[in-house]
Chains A and B, each alone.
Chain A
Amino acid sequence: NAGVTQTPKFQVLKTGQSMTLQCAQDMNHEYMSWYRQDPGMGLRLIHYSVGAGITDQGEVPNGYNVSRSTTEDFPLRLLSAAPSQTSVYFCASSYVGQTSYNYGYTFGSGTRLTVV
């Protein structure tokens, strides 16, 4: 299993540009989420999905869109990049299963985004 794969690893955008951060997992995890990590702020939840076709907002959703057309993929779209979106972005997935026990997240390796 590759786990959670994020692409690209690094990206520089100009203010106003749009782009999509890709996230794919091959573990058949139902739950997927996007976090941003900023110095002194910890990990903050942007959007999450409990399954294909279902998404919802997290703590800091403004300026981002998501969709979940398949179990495997959960792309994050930046609509019009702003310098405040400079951050490291992590995608995570979580197994649910029939018991609904929480087993925590598996994280991807992250995308380092700089908006100039």
Chain B
Amino acid sequence: GESVGLHLPTLSVQEGDNSIINCAYSNSASDYFIWYKQESGKGPQFIIDIRSNMDKRQGQRVTVLLNKTVKHLSLQIAATQPGDSAVYFCAEGPHMIKAAGNKLTFGGGTRVLVKP
């Protein structure tokens, strides 16, 4: 079936530096993408989303970039802090939820380790 994958399983970053987490998706019909953060022992937490009519979206210290041509998604975290240490998942799904429901497909996750 269709799946969402990540290039790097672990990313080590110095505190204060910027982090970039990448994700490749395979379902060209997907038009809604989300990044989730999961801290140890907790459930995934919504960070930021983007719809396919956009190439870039910014939040607080985070930016998501979407390249539909090569089916690539990235999450940039500015001035990475110790509290950013977590596993980050990308997910893909439909922009509009149909009667069949809202099935998101999740990537395997990238672990971000912030070094002091």
Interface residues of A (CB under 8 A from B): 4, 31, 33, 40-43, 45, 48-50, 56, 58-59, 90, 94, 96, 100-110
Contacts and interface: CB of A to CB of B under 8 A. Distances in A.
27 contacts: A4-B43, A31-B97, A42-B107, A42-B109, A43-B89, A48-B102, A50-B99, A50-B101, A56-B100, A59-B1, A90-B43, A94-B102, A96-B102, A102-B32, A102-B93, A102-B102, A104-B34, A104-B46, A104-B49, A105-B34, A105-B46, A105-B102, A107-B36, A107-B43, A107-B44, A110-B42, A110-B43
A49 B46 CA distance: 20
B106 A42 contact: yes
Nearest to B94: A102
Interface of B: 1, 32, 34, 36, 41-46, 49, 89, 91, 93-104, 106-109
Nearest to A49: B101
A108 B93 CA distance: 20
A100 B96 contact: yes
Contacts of B95: 101-102
Nearest to A108: B43
B96 A104 contact: no
